[in-house]
Chain A
Amino acid sequence: MIAVDIVLLAFVAAGAIPPVVGVYTFVLASVHVLHLRRETVAPVFPRVAIVVPAWNEAAVLGRTLDRLAALEYPREALRVYVVDDASTDATPELVREKAAEHPGLIFHLRREHGGQGKAHTINHGLRSIGADGWYEAILIIDADVILTAQSLRRMTRHFASEDVGAVTAYIKEGSRPENYLNRFVAFEYVTAQAVARRAQNVLGAQACLAGGAQLLTRASLEAVGARIDTSTLAEDTATTFKVQLAGRRVVFDPTAVVWAEEPRDIAGLWKQRLRWGRGNVQITRAFGRVWLRRRNGALGGIGFAAIWFSTTMMPVFMTLSSAGLLGLFAVDRSLSGHAFRLLLGVNVVTYLFITLSAISIDPVTGRRTWREAILFPGVVSLLFIAYAAYPPVFNHLKPSAAVVTAVALFAYAWQAGCMLCAALLGRLETVPVARVAVPPLLYVIGYGPLLAAMTAAAYVKELRGAEMRWEKTQKSGKIGEALR
């Protein structure tokens, strides 16, 4: 019986892994100044070819190109290649118009037969521009992103260090007018980019060059075959791993800000994250020999593996935690109560630390998204956290034994059940009369559980061997004019 208890307690403890690793990530990010002191930066202006894969991007591409033309970068060292993936809208005309407006800067590369996805489109561009030997570095961006004027030179300054092979920017959510989901994504990006990538700078290994703005030297691109990986749905992550395994460093510059428009509804977010989630599963498998092997440098370190797996295995940890608590309830009810209180104790401390730290690391986004930051785990989980933080608040309720049992069972099941509820919200969104209830319900269930649900759905798709289709995220071009 003791063995069963120990196994079940270990399951419960699995639920504490993501928040504890979250705190570890924030602690690393806090000492980013140490990384900056080690870094060599200088005004370096290699000849940069900006590759913009585009399929039916007429609504967003014009402004992107105008912003590229306004970059603080020597004009003679800059070329923009729009790789038009057989667009059927006004994209070709728009690019030709912009090319005429900015002669020698903007070029139109057209694929007559497209539809193979972003990575193939980028590779078409790389093949077309690689022959003449002009470019020394390549910046791959999404067609809808807005580069701030300083962003490119802030990125290229890292090439003053010869061992730096690639640089990634800080992608920020820029939809204006924004809705509730945009604010959740904006806060998520503080933790996933401003914090996690700072932490990875400190560790010396980056998980992903942000697909929206990834800068590579020609040498590092050629070292990985002069093409973007097409075998996974996470082509940016695959490139990042390969560059680092080829012996070059990848760094994140938090001052190189790039604005992006993110999905405004759960259906759009689900499509995007399913692709990312499946890509991460494929990367985990494809780079199986990287994990926890020190010969791979920081990429094979424990710290990097902890950050990677605490995110990609979130649904597993949540499910184990729930199963452990319910199992303990069946075999030893008192022990299940102790284990749950301990888990909640960890959650209280990590929740407060992570939420307040994230707001303090990017205060501008923090002011915009503080409600979403607080409600990230959802109202239901917050009630449990509040109970753990200060139980006397709930003393006056004096519930009966049956109610206590029911609440305990609900709380134990909620650790995994919240993912199911979050997944159902996506379905609810398709019912016209119920759509209005989705935003408040997401605040109740939590954005964190929604992210975990999308990761779980990615596992299922991957296990079923579903077809790898590049499903484009729809963009409207509603990025605020005031963004700089």
Chain B
Amino acid sequence: MSDLVPPDPLPVSSPQRAELERRADERQERIRLLRQVALSLVLALALAARIVLVGG
């Protein structure tokens, strides 16, 4: 995040600030996507383990 936060607060009407906020939003959404992918993999592994251990 440090590269996205300006040293001094920019005015709310600043296009630079809007762009920084947009990039920060995008970064948060990418993190969410990665978490979802990781969660899906863990669940898929758990499901596979369950099928191996006790059958379908």
A→B interface (CB under 8 Å): 26-27, 30-33, 36-37, 41-43, 45, 72-74, 153-154, 157, 255, 349, 352-353, 356-357, 360-361, 389-392
Q: Shortest CB–CB separation between residue B55 and chain A, in angstroms?
A: 9
The answer to whether B32 touches A349, judged by C-beta atoms less than 8 angstroms apart, is no
Within 8 A of A (CB), among B1-54: 12-15, 17-18, 21-22, 25-26, 29-30, 32-33, 35-37, 39-40, 43, 46-47, 50, 54
B30 surroundings in chain A (CB, below 8 A): 33
Partner of A33, one of B15, B29, B39, B43: B29
A392 surroundings in chain B (CB, below 8 A): 54
Residues A30 and B33 in contact in the complex (CB < 8 Å), given A43-B17, A353-B40, A353-B43: yes
B18 surroundings in chain A (CB, below 8 A): 41-43, 157
Q: Shortest CB–CB separation between residue A358 and chain B, in angstroms?
A: 11
The answer to whether A352 touches B13, judged by C-beta atoms less than 8 angstroms apart, is no
The answer to whether A43 touches B14, judged by C-beta atoms less than 8 angstroms apart, is yes
Residues A356 and B39 in contact in the complex (CB < 8 Å), given A30-B33, A153-B12, A361-B32: yes
Q: CA separation between A360 and B29, bound complex, in Å?
A: 11
The answer to whether B13 touches A43, judged by C-beta atoms less than 8 angstroms apart, is yes
Q: CA separation between A349 and B51, bound complex, in Å?
A: 12
Residue of B nearest to A72 (CB): B12
Residue of A nearest to B35 (CB): A360
Q: CA separation between A360 and B13, bound complex, in Å?
A: 32
Q: CA separation between A157 and B21, bound complex, in Å?
A: 11
Q: Shortest CB–CB separation between residue A159 and chain B, in angstroms?
A: 12
Top 4 closest A-B pairs, CB basis? A33-B29, A30-B36, A43-B18, A360-B35
Number of A-B contacts (CB under 8 A): 60
Q: CA separation between A31 and B15, bound complex, in Å?
A: 26
Q: CA separation between A27 and B40, bound complex, in Å?
A: 10
Q: Shortest CB–CB separation between residue A373 and chain B, in angstroms?
A: 14
Residue of A nearest to B18 (CB): A43
Residues A389 and B26 in contact in the complex (CB < 8 Å), given A43-B15, A360-B35: no
The answer to whether B25 touches A31, judged by C-beta atoms less than 8 angstroms apart, is no
25 contacts between A and B (CB under 8 A): A30-B33, A30-B37, A32-B33, A33-B26, A33-B29, A33-B32, A33-B33, A36-B22, A41-B22, A42-B15, A43-B14, A43-B17, A72-B12, A74-B13, A154-B21, A255-B25, A353-B40, A356-B43, A357-B39, A360-B32, A360-B36, A360-B39, A361-B32, A390-B54, A392-B54
Q: CA separation between A74 and B36, bound complex, in Å?
A: 38
The answer to whether B12 touches A349, judged by C-beta atoms less than 8 angstroms apart, is no
Q: Shortest CB–CB separation between residue A340 and chain B, in angstroms?
A: 14
A31 surroundings in chain B (CB, below 8 A): 33
B29 surroundings in chain A (CB, below 8 A): 32-33, 36
The answer to whether B50 touches A390, judged by C-beta atoms less than 8 angstroms apart, is yes
Q: CA separation between A357 and B39, bound complex, in Å?
A: 8
A356 surroundings in chain B (CB, below 8 A): 39, 43
B36 surroundings in chain A (CB, below 8 A): 26-27, 30, 357, 360
A360 surroundings in chain B (CB, below 8 A): 32, 35-36, 39
A357 surroundings in chain B (CB, below 8 A): 36, 39
Q: CA separation between A157 and B54, bound complex, in Å?
A: 53
Q: CA separation between A417 and B25, bound complex, in Å?
A: 43
Residue of A nearest to B39 (CB): A356
Q: Shortest CB–CB separation between residue A172 and chain B, in angstroms?
A: 16
A27 surroundings in chain B (CB, below 8 A): 36
The answer to whether A30 touches B32, judged by C-beta atoms less than 8 angstroms apart, is yes
Residue of A nearest to B40 (CB): A353
B33 surroundings in chain A (CB, below 8 A): 30-33
Residues A43 and B12 in contact in the complex (CB < 8 Å), given A32-B29, A390-B50, A390-B54: yes
Q: Shortest CB–CB separation between residue B27 and chain A, in angstroms?
A: 9
Residue of A nearest to B47 (CB): A349
Q: CA separation between A73 and B12, bound complex, in Å?
A: 8
Q: Shortest CB–CB separation between residue B7 and chain A, in angstroms?
A: 19
A255 surroundings in chain B (CB, below 8 A): 21, 25
A352 surroundings in chain B (CB, below 8 A): 43, 46
Q: CA separation between A218 and B39, bound complex, in Å?
A: 43
Apart from A41-B22, A72-B12, A390-B54, 6 more pairs, CB < 8 Å: A45-B13, A74-B13, A352-B46, A357-B39, A360-B32, A360-B36
Q: CA separation between A361 and B46, bound complex, in Å?
A: 21
Q: CA separation between A112 and B13, bound complex, in Å?
A: 40
A153 surroundings in chain B (CB, below 8 A): 12
A349 surroundings in chain B (CB, below 8 A): 43, 47
Q: CA separation between A231 and B43, bound complex, in Å?
A: 46
Most central of B12, B15, B32 by chain A CB within 10 Å: B32
Partner of A36, one of B25, B47, B50: B25
A391 surroundings in chain B (CB, below 8 A): 54
Q: CA separation between A37 and B25, bound complex, in Å?
A: 10
Q: Shortest CB–CB separation between residue A32 and chain B, in angstroms?
A: 5
Residues A389 and B50 in contact in the complex (CB < 8 Å), given A43-B14, A43-B17: yes
